[in-house]
């Protein structure tokens, strides 16, 4: 096993994680296509994954990776359900525009 | 606190750059945005490293990190959904590379197989299924909701404010942490639980005799205790030098020894997800108006920022 | 030098509030003097507004009745006050802390004289107007306004404190505005009324500031209290502060505005747009003399400052000669007499300035008679010739049947104005001019010579009018009020009726004989003695300054002004009676000067350029910048703020997912920052 991360290296990875997270978040807020919005949430997951692994390496154990396995599991489940929802919504209105769905207003 | 001001300045520059890159009618400013964004990222990295660029990470980190961020930016700024998905695959690959850097190769491959190979393929299928053109004369034209970004300024500002806050906290927090969490990781401590592996390795190295089996392993001394029915038991054998615990072993051991319940629950969740997907996406019900009249139910998308 | 003269001023002669000559228990109801015209005004107003077309006919009689009552009361007051003083409080008005201004009357000889002039001329003019204004649609309204004017003017004259005087001052300004703009359908009249009011306002500002300063310096606005303190100041010989010295200058500004002196005279010629009785009453006899009265009343204050009275004298002098030069070049006979009024008012101020307050008030007295006669005569001409006032189009009216009385009274009044020997104007002008040469002061001799020159010019232009209009070949053209439908008929001039003739006769007699009250004795007869017992008293130094002159200055002045007057009349006779073509040749030879004089030396145009246009520019700037930009912008901002708040709050509720996401991110960022700040 390689030696554990120094705090300096950890900073690098955390910066990358934060940047990816925010990019994903901005994408989520800006795009109107439902599928792209979900893709951006997946990007946020990626960012969290990097952070997990980096911290695990910093502490010198594999708990970060184990946690990531579970995150991956949940991400997969969520992706499946999300895409099923998208397909259903698309059948209703024949459009993927997120702005069309505003029945919950008020 | 000079570094903090650099970080904030980098955030501002990055925000402006991203604004230029987001989908809009007029794409002239995109290169400027790219330059700004790249510069911002570099400046931020420099600041966070406190000037010691080469400390702790090697050049592959920079390459992979650049690929990841570039792919992510391109993913959110590209107008066509298929390209977004493909760029996301690039991000996933870059992330996998980073995992390899961090000696987490199992997770790297898992990521590629599960994410890029399964999840994103599913996304691509759905994109193909749900794609449409705004009118039938131009089947390749972008729909209106793909072509323009929605309130880019508000989203970018808020996002980068969030980023600045996160980075500020992070900078402050990590400056209080010790430079190394652990000075030395006891190597191969999992071997004590991987008796089968030790057994196989010893057999291969012909250090174990017939009828003997491994009873316990002492990782610190790198010895294995062999027992057998023969009168010489227990016998200590030193482990071959090339016997190491690799990442897969470590993850497996940790997963099964420390989180067995979570593993079971994860399995249940996956099954439920499968059921849910099937239920949700089954054939059309009476409530689907689009089946009979394809475009009748789609209301015209309202312009950005108009009162709802 | 002025201080030395002022030192001779003996306030003890005033007997203010002194028991010995205070008229105990004035048996005359003084309050009727303003009250009767007030009731007449209300009655006329009711007649004007009441339904029924024939009600307005009685307004004239009502007004004459009210003014007649006031006249009789004034005579009674004059007789009972005599040379003493009296103070009558009608009701308490303003009592705030130290400030005390009651509706109270202060009666001294000066007041009596002014009251007689005001009510006398007022009654005569009201009688004249009964015939002159007959048939006019606003007949009752006219008499209501005239009565109101008399109320205000008598209040002004009777006031015992500056604030009540200011009330009367503003009241006459208002009535002047109402009466000048009487023919409110004529744009020229409306503009003239506005001009009069606005220009007067400038003077009134000075007056108001003067009142404030007086209150600050003396702690009171009542004349009695002020003059006591002035006397104490003078006898103590203390240094007089600049604050106190500034008061006369501010009061003087008000007087110049009301009495049409330079530079605030521009309203008076335009005020001729009003009906002629108005011109006679207000702009010849009474309102414009309010300024002279103010300075005469407050003379002790003026004596405190070294430069106040010389300023008054010089302004009066320059105004006199300036207005005379303009008057020489005008063609509208009412305008000519308006400029003549300005010029004669200048004489009065000159008189005040050279310490001849008796001369000034005497000139006021005589001027009221002959100027009113002149204006009323012009009015008769206008009435009879359908509004024709241009002296180039009227000639030889003395030979038109029915116009003899008008001609006679005009002749007498012109002689008085020109200062022909033994007329009233002669005596009053002489008084002023003689004092100018005798009194020591900055450039007073020059004032005297300029005054003499002005007297000559006055004689010239007065008789220019007379010779042109009344003598010479008979020839006239009707004015604009002559209806076009009568064009083919031969125009018959409408001879004046009995009321007009009667008033003109009375005024003519007054013009001749009014002068005799001011003649005789060391103090110029009855008139002078009246003035000596009022606040306008002064003490001429005995003999000291007279020695520098050849004997008695008054006799020399009578000679000099006679010569000058006759010379003026002679010049006018030559140019306008015997050889009228010579006048045209003379005009052509000095054409640029003549044209400039006809345009009143372009003073109005100068004011327009210097004052009106910059003010308009400032107004536009304020409108564009202050009003449109700032105030409208603020109002729009007030409207925009709720909209913005709504727009900002809308993403919370509009059902769109990404708005909610944005809110979540903001919240997250906020929480992070708060935690960060707290750590």
Where is average pLDDT lowest: A80-89, B100-109, B276-285, B296-305? B296-305
List, in order, residues 6 or more apart from C578 with CB less than 8 Å away: none
Contact status of C669 with chain B (Cβ, < 8 Å):
yes
3-state secondary structure at position C470: helix
SS3 at position C474: coil
Give the total number of structural domains in chain B: 2
Q: Are residue B166 and residue B214 in the same domain, yes or no? A: no
Least confident stretch, A81-95, B130-144, B196-210, C558-572:
B130-144
What is the domain count for chain A? 1
Mean pLDDT of C276-294: 87
Q: Do A98 and C657 touch (CB under 8 A)?
A: yes
Q: What 3-state DSSP class applies to C390?
A: strand
C286 vs C171: CA distance, rounded Å: 13
If you measure CA to CA, which chain A residue comes closest to C649? A106
Mean per-residue pLDDT for B74-94?
Answer: 90
Nearest CA of chain C to the CA of A64: how many Å? 24
Question: For the sheet containing B213-218, what is the strand order?
Answer: B213-218, B223-227, B235-238
**pLDDT for the residue C145:** 93
Q: CA-CA distance, C454 to C344, in Å (whole number)?
A: 9
Question: B165 and C665 in contact by Cβ < 8 A?
Answer: no
CATH number of A82's domain: 1.10.287.3510
Do B88 and B134 belong together in one domain? Answer: yes
Please indicate, yes or no, if residue B294 is contained in any of the structural domains.
no
Q: Which of B86-100, C318-332, C489-503 has the lowest mean pLDDT?
A: C489-503
Beta strands in C348-484 (DSSP E): 394-395, 475-476
In angstroms, how far apart are the furthest CA atoms of chain A? Answer: 56
Residue B141 touches partner C, C-beta closer than 8 Å: no
User: Which chain C residue shows the shortest CA-CA distance from A102?
Assistant: C655
- Rounded Cα gap, residues C146 and B153, in angstroms: 75
Q: Write down the domain spans for chain C.
A: 312-525+546-598, 604-678
Neighbouring C-beta atoms of residue C263, cutoff 10 Å? 14
**For residues C393-408, b (16+ Cβ closer than 10 Å) or e, as one string?**
bbbbbbebeebebbbb
pLDDT at residue number B228: 78
Q: What is the pLDDT of residue C55?
A: 61
CA distances from C593 to C325, C328, C459, C589 (A): 10, 12, 20, 9
Interhelix angle A7-30/A34-59, rounded to 10 degrees, is: 170
Q: Does any domain span residue A2?
A: no
Q: Do B28 and B106 lie in a common domain? A: yes
3-state secondary structure of B192: helix
Q: Which among A41-50, B203-212, C607-616 has the top mean pLDDT? A: A41-50
Distance between CA atoms of C144 and C39, rounded to whole angstroms?
A: 10
The dihedral region occupied by C520, where left means phi > 0, alpha psi between -120 and 50, and beta the remainder, is left
- Report the gap between the CA of B209 and the closest CA in chain A (Å): 30
- Residue from the list C653, C662, C665 with its beta carbon closest to the beta carbon of A106: C653
B87 interfacial to chain A (CB closer than 8 Å): no
Q: What's the average model confidence in pLDDT over B121-126?
A: 90
Would you place residue C5 in the very low, low, confident or very high pLDDT band (cuts 50, 70, 90)?
A: very low
Least confident residue range of B120-129, C54-63, C516-525: C516-525
pLDDT tops 80 at residue B147: no
Closest Cβ–Cβ partner in A29, A37, A104 for C655: A104
Give the pLDDT confidence of C526-583 residue by residue, as tens digits.
777 777 777 666 554 433 344 445 556 677 778 888 888 888 888 888 888 777 777 7
Quote the pLDDT of residue C244: 85
Predicted pLDDT at B177? 79
* Average per-residue pLDDT for chain A: 87
Is 70 exceeded by the pLDDT of residue A72?
Answer: yes
Structural domain boundaries, residue B234: 189-247
> DSSP per residue over C94-116, as a string?
EEETTEEEEEEEEE-HHHHHHHH
Considering only CB atoms, which chain B residues are within 8 Å of A39?
75, 84-85, 88, 123
CB contact under 8 A, B22 and A95: no
CA distance A72 to A70: 5
Task: Mark yes or no for CB contact C656/A103 under 8 Å.
Answer: no
Neighbours of C461 (CB within 10 A): 26
- Categorize the per-residue pLDDT at C138 as very low, low, confident or very high, splitting at 50, 70 and 90: confident
Q: Decide if A106 is inside a domain.
A: no
Residue A37 falls inside a structural domain: yes
Q: Are residues B114 and B82 in the same domain?
A: yes
Using a CB–CB cutoff of 8 Å, tell me whether B302 touches chain A: yes
- This model of the complex carries an ipTM of 0.92
pLDDT value of residue A74:
92
Calculate what percentage of chain C has a pLDDT beyond 90.
25
Chain C residues with CB under 8 Å of A102 CB are: 654-656
The whole-number average pLDDT for the span B6-26 is 78
Final residue of a structural domain among B205, B228, B247: B247
How far is residue B69 from each of residues B40, B61, B167, measured CA to CA in Å? 12, 12, 16
Q: Is A97 helix (H, G, I), strand (E, B) or coil?
A: strand
**Does A103 map to a domain?**
no
Those of residues 168-197 in B touching chain C at CB distance below 8 A are: 168-169, 172
Query: How sure is the predictor about C16, in pLDDT bands with cuts at 50, 70 and 90?
Result: very low
Name the minimum distance, in Å, from the CA of A72 to any CA of chain C: 23
Helix (H, G, I), strand (E, B) or coil at C92: strand
- Based on the domain organization, do B17 and B57 belong to the same domain? yes
Residue C14 has pLDDT above 70, yes or no: no
Report the 10 Å Cβ neighbour count for B142.
15
Q: How far apart are CA B20 and CA B27, in angstroms?
A: 8
pLDDT at C19: 31
Residues B83 and B211 in one domain: no
| Alpha-carbon gap, residue C287 to C285, rounded angstroms | 7
Neighboring chain C residues of A32 at a CB cutoff of 8 Å: 658
Contacts B–C by Cβ distance under 8 A = 34
Mean pLDDT of C229-252: 85
Domain end position, chosen among B140, B174, B208: B174
Query: Which of B130, B146, B174 is a domain's end point?
Result: B174
| Cross-chain CB nearest to A92 (options B152, B259, B289) | B289
Least confident among C151-155, C168-172, C381-385? C381-385
Say if B26 falls within a structural domain.
Answer: yes
Which residues in chain B have their CB less than 8 angstroms from residue C673's CB? 165
In a domain, A79, yes or no: yes
Contact A60, A4 (CB under 8 A): yes
Instruction: Answer for the pair B228, B215: CB distance below 8 angstroms, yes or no.
Output: no
Please tell me chain A's helix, strand, coil percentages from 3-state DSSP, rounded to the nearest 5: 80, 0, 20
State how far the Cα of B40 lies from the Cα of B156, in Å rounded to an integer.
14
Contact C669 B154 (CB under 8 A): no
Confidence of residue C626 (pLDDT cuts 50, 70, 90): confident
Q: What pLDDT was estimated at residue B31?
A: 78
CATH code of the domain containing B169: 1.20.120
Which token pair is B129? 């299924």
Asked if residue C6 has pLDDT above 60, the reply is no
Comparing B127-141, C108-122, C535-549, which segment has the lowest mean pLDDT?
Answer: C535-549
Q: What average pLDDT does this structure show over C651-674?
A: 84
Residue A14 or residue C358, greater confidence: A14
Nearest-CA neighbor of B149 among B268, B292, B258, B26?
B26
Inform me whether the pLDDT recorded for C134 exceeds 60. yes
Residue C332 DSSP label: B
| Mean pLDDT on B214-240 | 77
Of the residues B69, B110, B130, the best mutation for testing chain A's interface (the one with the most A CB atoms within 10 Å of its CB) is B130
Supply A1's token pair.
């096993």
Q: How buried is residue C453: exposed, middle or buried, by Cβ count under 10 Å (0-12/13-18/19+)?
A: middle
In the structure, what pLDDT confidence band is assigned to residue B273 with cuts at 50, 70 and 90? very high
Residue B159: which of A6, A9, A25 has the nearest Cβ? A25
C515 to C38, C55, C121, C378: CA distances (angstroms): 32, 42, 16, 23
Lowest mean pLDDT among B90-99, C77-86, C216-225: C77-86
Looking at the structure, do residues B48 and B197 belong to the same domain, yes or no? no
Query: In this structure, is residue B101 part of a structural domain?
Result: yes
Query: B209 and B132 in one domain?
Result: no
CA distance C663 to chain A (A): 10
At B139 the pLDDT is: 64
Single pTM value for the model: 0.67
A105 CB neighbours in chain C (<8 A) are 653-656
Mean pLDDT, rounded, for C170-195: 92
The nearest alpha carbon in chain B to A20 belongs to B69
- Position C72 scores a pLDDT of 92
Please name the residues between 18 and 47 in chain A that touch chain C, using a CB distance below 8 Å: 25, 28-30, 32, 37
B288 found inside a domain:
no
- Please identify which residue in the block is written with the tokens 């000066």: C110
In a domain, A105, yes or no: no
The first and second tokens of residue C291, run together, are 């300024």
Q: For testing the chain A interface, which of B20, B75, B117, B294 should be mutated: the one with the most A CBs within 10 Å?
A: B75
Is B224 a domain residue?
yes
Give domain status of residue A102, yes or no: no
pLDDT at A40 over 80: yes
B214-218, C230-234, C402-406, C490-494: least confidently modelled range: C490-494
- The pairing of beta strand B213-218 with beta strand B223-227: antiparallel
Q: Is B272 part of any domain?
A: no
Q: Which ranges constitute the DSSP H helices of chain B?
A: 2-21, 30-48, 59-77, 81-101, 105-110, 120-130, 144-147, 152-174, 195-204, 247-258, 260-280
**At how many degrees (to 10) do helices C162-180 and C242-258 cross?**
20
Please name the member of C654, C661, C665 whose beta carbon is closest to the beta carbon of A105.
C654
Same domain, yes or no, for B98 and B194? no
Mean pLDDT of C262-276: 88
Residue B125 sits in the same domain as residue B52: yes
How far, in Å, are B70, B191, B194, B247, B255 from residue B252 at the CA level? 33, 12, 10, 8, 5
Per-residue pLDDT of B148-194, as tens digits, reads 777 778 888 888 888 888 888 887 887 787 777 766 666 777 777 78
Give the integer Cα–Cα distance in Å for C294 and C253. 11
Give dist(CA C207, CA C297) in Å, integer.
14
At C565 the pLDDT is: 86
How far away is chain A from the Cα of B55, in angstroms, using its nearest Cα?
7
Per-residue pLDDT, C512:
81
Say yes or no: B10 and B105 in one domain. Answer: yes
pLDDT at residue C678 tops 50: yes
DSSP designation for B213? E
Of A29, A101, A105, the CB nearest to C661: A29
Q: How confident is the model at residue A52 (pLDDT cuts 50, 70, 90)?
A: very high
Pairing mode, strands B223-227 and C475-476: unpaired
Residue B293 placed within a domain: no
Name the residue in chain A with its Cα closest to that of B107.
A65
Average pLDDT over residues B26-41: 77
- Peptide bond connecting C35 to the previous residue in cis, omega within 30 degrees of 0: no
pLDDT of residue C406 exceeding 50, the answer is yes
Please indicate, yes or no, whether residues B17 and B103 belong to a single structural domain of this protein: yes
pLDDT at C649 over 90: no
Which residue segment(s) compose the domain that A51 sits in?
A: 7-97
């Amino acid at each position: 096993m390689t030696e554990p991360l120094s705090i300096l290296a950890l900073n690098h990875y955390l910066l990358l994680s934060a940047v990816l997270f925010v990019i994903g978040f901005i994408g989520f807020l800006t795009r109107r296509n439902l599928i792209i919005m979900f893709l951006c949430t997946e990007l946020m997951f990626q960012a969290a994954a990097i952070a997990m692994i980096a911290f695990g390496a910093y502490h010198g154990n594999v708990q970060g990776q184990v946690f990531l396995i579970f995150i991956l599991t949940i991400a997969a489940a969520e992706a499946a359900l999300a895409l099923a929802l998208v397909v259903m919504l698309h059948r209703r209105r024949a459009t993927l525009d997120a702005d069309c769905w505003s029945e919950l207003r008020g | 606190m000079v570094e903090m001001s650099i970080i904030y300045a980098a955030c501002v520059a990055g925000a402006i750059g991203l604004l230029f890159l987001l989908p809009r009618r007029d794409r002239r400013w995109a290169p400027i945005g790219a330059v700004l964004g790249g510069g911002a990222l570099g400046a931020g990295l420099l600041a966070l490293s406190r000037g010691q660029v080469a400390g702790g990470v090697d050049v592959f980190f920079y390459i992979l990190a650049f690929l990841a961020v570039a792919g992510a930016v391109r993913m959110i700024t590209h107008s066509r959904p298929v390209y977004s998905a493909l760029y996301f695959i690039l991000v996933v690959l870059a992330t996998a590379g980073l995992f390899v850097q961090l000696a987490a190769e199992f997770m790297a491959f898992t990521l590629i197989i599960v994410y890029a190979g399964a999840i994103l393929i599913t996304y691509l299928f759905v994109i193909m299924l749900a794609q449409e053109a705004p009118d039938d004369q131009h089947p390749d034209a972008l729909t209106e909701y793909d072509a323009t970004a929605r309130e880019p300024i508000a989203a970018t500002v808020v996002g980068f404010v969030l980023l600045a806050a996160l980075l500020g906290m992070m900078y402050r927090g990590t400056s209080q942490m010790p430079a190394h969490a652990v000075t030395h990781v006891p190597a191969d401590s999992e071997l004590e639980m991987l008796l089968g592996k030790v057994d196989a390795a010893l057999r291969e190295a012909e250090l174990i005799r017939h009828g003997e089996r491994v009873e316990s392993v002492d990782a610190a001394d790198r010895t294995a205790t062999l027992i057998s029915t023969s009168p010489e038991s227990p016998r200590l054998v030193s482990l071959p030098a090339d016997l190491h615990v690799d990442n897969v072993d470590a993850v497996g051991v940790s997963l099964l020894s420390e989180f067995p319940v979570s593993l079971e629950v994860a399995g249940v969740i996956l099954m439920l997800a499968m059921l849910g997907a099937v239920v949700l996406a089954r054939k059309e019900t009476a409530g689907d108006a689009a089946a009979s009249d394809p475009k009748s139910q789609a209301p015209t998308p309202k312009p950005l920022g108009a009162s709802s | 030098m002025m201080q030395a003269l002022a030192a001779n001023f003996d306030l003890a002669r005033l007997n203010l509030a002194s028991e010995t000559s205070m008229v105990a228990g004035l048996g005359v109801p003084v309050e009727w003097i303003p009250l009767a015209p007030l009731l007449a005004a209300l009655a006329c107003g009711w007649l004007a507004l009441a339904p029924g077309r024939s009600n307005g006919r009685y307004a004239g009689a009502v007004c004459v009745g009210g003014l007649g009552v006031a006249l009789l009361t004034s005579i009674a007051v004059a007789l009972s006050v005599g040379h003493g003083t009296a103070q009558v409080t009608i009701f308490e008005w303003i009592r705030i802390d130290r400030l005390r201004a009651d509706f109270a009357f202060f009666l001294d000889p000066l007041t009596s004289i002014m009251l007689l002039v005001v009510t006398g001329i007022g009654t005569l003019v009201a009688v004249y107007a009964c015939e002159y204004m007959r048939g006019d649609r606003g007949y009752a309204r006219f008499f209501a306004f005239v009565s109101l004017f008399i109320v205000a003017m008598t209040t002004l004259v009777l006031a015992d404190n500056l604030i009540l005087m200011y009330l009367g001052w503003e009241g006459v300004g208002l009535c002047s505005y109402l009466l000048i703009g009487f023919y409110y359908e004529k744009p020229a009249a409306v503009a003239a009324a506005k001009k009069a009011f606005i220009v007067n306002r400038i003077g009134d500002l000075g007056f108001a500031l003067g009142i404030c300063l007086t209150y600050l310096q003396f702690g009171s606005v009542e004349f009695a209290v002020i003059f006591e303190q002035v006397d104490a100041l003078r006898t103590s010989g203390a240094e007089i502060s600049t604050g106190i010295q500034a008061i006369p200058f501010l009061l003087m500004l008000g007087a110049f505005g009301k009495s049409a002196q330079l530079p605030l005279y521009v309203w008076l010629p335009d005020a001729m747009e009003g009906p002629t009785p108005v011109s006679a009453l207000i702009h010849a006899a009474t309102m414009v003399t309010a300024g002279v009265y103010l300075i005469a009343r407050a003379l002790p204050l003026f004596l405190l400052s070294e430069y106040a009275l010389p300023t008054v004298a010089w302004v009066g002098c320059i105004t006199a000669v300036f207005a005379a030069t303009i008057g020489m070049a005008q063609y509208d006979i009412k305008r000519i007499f308006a400029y003549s009024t300005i010029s004669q008012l200048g004489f009065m101020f000159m008189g005040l300035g050279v310490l001849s307050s008796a001369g000034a008030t005497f000139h006021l007295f005589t001027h009221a008679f002959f100027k009113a006669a002149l204006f009323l005569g012009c009015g008769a001409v206008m009435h009879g010739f359908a509004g024709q006032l241009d002296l180039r189009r009227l000639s030889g009216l003395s030979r038109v049947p029915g116009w003899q009385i008008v001609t006679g009274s005009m002749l007498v009044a012109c002689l008085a104005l020109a200062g022909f020997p033994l007329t009233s104007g002669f005596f009053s002008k002489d008084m002023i001019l003689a004092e100018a040469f005798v009194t020591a002061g900055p450039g007073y001799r020059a004032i005297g010579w300029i005054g003499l020159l002005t007297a000559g010019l006055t004689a010239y232009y007065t008789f220019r009018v007379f010779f042109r209009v009344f003598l010479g070949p008979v020839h006239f053209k009707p004015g604009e009020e002559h209806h076009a439908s009568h064009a083919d008929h031969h125009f018959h001039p409408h001879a004046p009726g009995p009321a007009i003739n009667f008033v003109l006769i009375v005024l003519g007699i007054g013009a001749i004989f009014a002068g005799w009250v001011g003649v005789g004795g060391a103090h110029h007869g009855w008139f002078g003695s009246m003035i000596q017992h009022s606040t306008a008293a002064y003490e001429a130094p005995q003999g000291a300054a007279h020695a520098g002159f050849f004997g008695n200055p008054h006799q020399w002045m009578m000679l000099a002004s006679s010569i000058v007057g006759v010379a003026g009349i002679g010049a006018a006779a030559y140019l306008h009676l015997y050889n009228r073509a010579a006048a045209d040749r003379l005009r052509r030879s000095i054409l640029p000067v003549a044209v400039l004089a006809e345009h009143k030396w372009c003073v109005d145009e100068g004011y327009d350029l210097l004052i009106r246009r910059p003010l308009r520019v400032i107004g536009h700037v304020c409108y564009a910048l202050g009003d449109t930009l700032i105030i409208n912008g603020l109002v729009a901002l007030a409207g925009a703020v709720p909209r913005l708040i709504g727009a900002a709050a809308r993403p919370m509720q509009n059902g769109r997912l990404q708005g909610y996401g944005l809110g979540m991110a903001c919240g997250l960022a906020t929480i992070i920052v708060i935690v960060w700040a707290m750590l």
